[in-house]
Structure 1
Amino acid sequence: MLEKKEHAYEKAVLVGLITKDQDEEKLREYMDELEFLAYTAGATVEKRFTQKMSQPDSRTFVGSGKAEEIRNYTTEHEIGTVIFDDELSPSQLKNLERELEVKILDRTNLILDIFAQRAQTSYARTQVELAQYEYLLPRLTRMWTHLERQRGGIGMRGPGETEIETDRRIIRDRISLLKEKLKTIDKQMSTQRQNRGKMVRAALVGYTNVGKSTLMNSLSKSEVFAENKLFATLDTTVRKVVIGNLPFLLTDTVGFIRKLPTQLVESFKSTLDEVREADLLIHVVDISHESFEDHIDSVNQILMEINAQQKPMIMVFNKIDAFAYEKKDEDDLTPSTRKNISLDEWKKTWMAKSKHPTVFISALTKENFPEMKKMIYDEVHKIHISRFPYNDFLFEYFEEEEEA
């Protein structure tokens, strides 16, 4: 996909809250992620607004003083988009649009917009369209606030409400149609999965932008789209992979994310079925990301929601080439330096003591690929011999020569 040119990006500001459930550090992590989401969608972030509150204001999410501060800034700097880190209620959305007079997006709407941009196949587009309509339906009234501003409410309520009800009926009919369409495709995809025979199936899972597609390309020697943006891959890709002389199927799935919209979890049910029906999960983690532990928890939570948490799993800690920690010399006057960690050091960390087989790699430089391939081979081989106990003699592991 072609990179957008800089002048095509919208100017936006971000808004988030520090609450009893979300401290300042956690909010900063979420806002960093929200800024990356905004960039992926096509916006540059000019400023962040944060406020400490016990809970979001039921009317405008933030307090009236903060709303006025945001309005003054967006007016002065000609900014047309304000993005909130949490999902807004229909009334909050309507009130904010009326008070700020700019385009208001929440995290859910932003993610849906990215999915709409990224969907390539008819199936993915159908899934995204369903999620968008389900998000839009309770928020239809906000589309008519311009009538109130232009001509007032008296005399306009009847026709306006009639039109909204007509639109609601059209959207409900469209949702029903899309659900039926997805049911038909789900049946076809389920049949396809059954027709793959008894070959062992492994699925790459992980947080978005951890390097699953890059790893898929390296293992399958194929060209799956990979990019340093969130949700670069939406469409499930299945490739036949041979390690040693043992063939198996490898699936690249959509990345997970914190605060994943419930509409997307439901509409991407069949994509998650690839995970649910896999024999082996390869959980890829970006070890260079400061919040990688939260990412692991988020992925495990979604795996639990789809009843896939008990499956055999390999933990692959990726991007060791990008990881570095601050090394401070004894002399406080000496500047701190960046230092990478060796493989031997990685193997002594708490991550290596996971209940699952664990390996540390770089999908980009292919560092430690032989150990990872041997680990995948061993796990696939265990599943294979439990399924075909009489033809185990056909498969024997041998080292492959790494490509230069």
Structure 2
Amino acid sequence: MSFAALRASIRRSALATPTRAAARPALRQSAVRRFTTETPAPKKSNAVLYGGLGAAVIGGVAFYVYASSSDTAKEAGSAVRSGAQAAKAAVNFVPTKADYQKVYDKIAEVIDSAENYDDGSYGPVLLRLAWHASGTYDKETGTGGSNYATMRFHPESAHGANAGLNVARDLMENVKKEFPWISYGDLWTLAGVAAVQEMGGPKIPWRPGRIDGFATQATPDGRLPDATQGADHLRNIFYRMGFNDQEIVALSGAHALGRCHTDRSGFEGPWTFSPTTVTNDYYKLLFDEKWVWKKWSGPKQLEDKKTKSLMMLPTDYVLTQDKSFKKYAKAYAENQDLWFKDFSSVVSRLFELGVPTAQFTTSEPWIMGSE
């Protein structure tokens, strides 16, 4: 079919489809967590704006209906949805910040519901989900990143670096059922923000606008860090995303949280003694402890000589060996406030990788939770 004919078909579909105001699903009032300000009252519904978004949005909706029925048109349909999102952003389309705050509060409840999972918190695995969904970005091709949430699809969901993240995706699927209007990309990155903030870390500026894509937009394997590698590998991976040495070291501090599992990555153990609290202990331990190679049948990793209860990966230890990395790691070990500031900035950027600026529903990012 020629493009002109396709466009004519789209126009006919749009004109034949009756417009109607789309009602937002009812949102259950979540209990506001401790240390969180009262959720602001939602603004008066802007549903009437559905009818005033103009031909761009109407055409986008019509094209999406067409694209949904044609495998060959799905990528084009996703592109039009991106344009529709930009049009919505231009008129301050609902949902409001108050609506996203309710999602945040629900995620915060999920984080604390872990009980017997790992160290009693789902926070670390939710942060890893947001990180891995965003860290596939390639600045040269403009592919990957958080925009399409392609980890929902095989084979990306089965990439080695994503082992075990089905736990986090399943948790967020339950939240998605309660708030079906939020995109997966927005949901997952908001979960990463909640994880950092609810575990005592800095505020992470965040804004919505990601759209859901298709399996054809899934990224190839090998775009996420391989923990067995050294400095050159880290630079290849992070430079591809657009980060520099200082930002590589700042992002590595996320290893203050969580632990490795032999049935996932093959590695085993936590990086710090407080794996559910965001601190600069990761950097302090790198320099304060004596690290030796662990004698076991698993992949190469280090353990602290004193207690043998902590571990570091080769990609962690290289921060103390590479001259450029070391100066930043040392600075963060000595000043937690400095790391919090840099970590907040770089994580906010990480979570926006691959998202066209025009899609965001607000020009300035929000601070969710307690302010």
- RCO (CA 8 Å, sep 6+): is it higher in 1 or 2? 2
TM-based fold match above 0.5: no
TM-score if structure 2 supplies the norm length?
0.25
Question: What TM-score do the two structures reach when normalised by structure 1?
Answer: 0.24
